[in-house]
Chain A
């Protein structure tokens, strides 16, 4: 087995892993009960799936065509920086606009913290 065949197998496995992860994440998006768990599925595994696909493409062009594409590496970095922030913003605005958690969840620590913060603010505004 020569080098290019090994590289081809590695690339094929990476691209397949990426697509399977994206498929799993879309399944999770359908099956999970509320927006918080759905965003958990949508941001995490899609980010890793995109990493696998882009890295597979990068390795393919590097070994097969001798082309080192900085844009692909920059794309990986960019997706890794932006996707969690986008998920965080969606969740934050959902919580602030009063979207309920699913019935199966047991604990909501943020609600208690926000209540405590509001009480503290009222206390300080009375004092000063």
Chain B
């Protein structure tokens, strides 16, 4: 029997936005507050899993046509490239730096290269978690 629940689907449509917003906040807050790429990636993955529970796999694949294996591989590649980038500039592997810049919308902002590494971790965690869950869930 196909499982459709209007109450679950309607509340999911609202909740997914809150969870995704919170995950992005947690990812960017990781430099000075509790949070970071790992936990942000897990929260994003939980929002996507909620979508997969409320709707079926085919519908969500149409909405989000993303291969999560590629997302995970891209994340690892980004994290590796930030390490190699510091080697190219003549510093040891995975050296990091930061600078204060005045951006048009945010004002004075601290831009750190560690955030790019965190983005790689985030994408790797989302890709790995979703690949595991989907490959378990699709088996008959």
Contact = CB atoms under 8 A, between A and B. Distances in A.
Q: Do chains A and B interact in one complex?
A: yes
Interface of A: 74, 77-78, 81-82, 85, 88-89, 92
Interface of B: 5, 7-8, 11, 14-15, 18, 22
Main secondary structure of the interface of B (DSSP, over half): helix
A95 to B, nearest CB: 12
Given A74-B18, A74-B22, A82 B11 contact: yes
Contact of A78 (B5, B7, B8, B15): B15
A88 B7 CA distance: 8
Main secondary structure of the interface of A (DSSP, over half): helix
Contacts of A82: 11, 15
A67 to B, nearest CB: 12
A77 B7 CA distance: 17
A81 B15 contact: yes
Contacts of B5: 89, 92
19 contacts: A74-B18, A74-B22, A77-B18, A78-B15, A78-B18, A81-B11, A81-B14, A81-B15, A81-B18, A82-B11, A82-B15, A85-B7, A85-B8, A85-B11, A88-B7, A88-B8, A89-B5, A89-B8, A92-B5
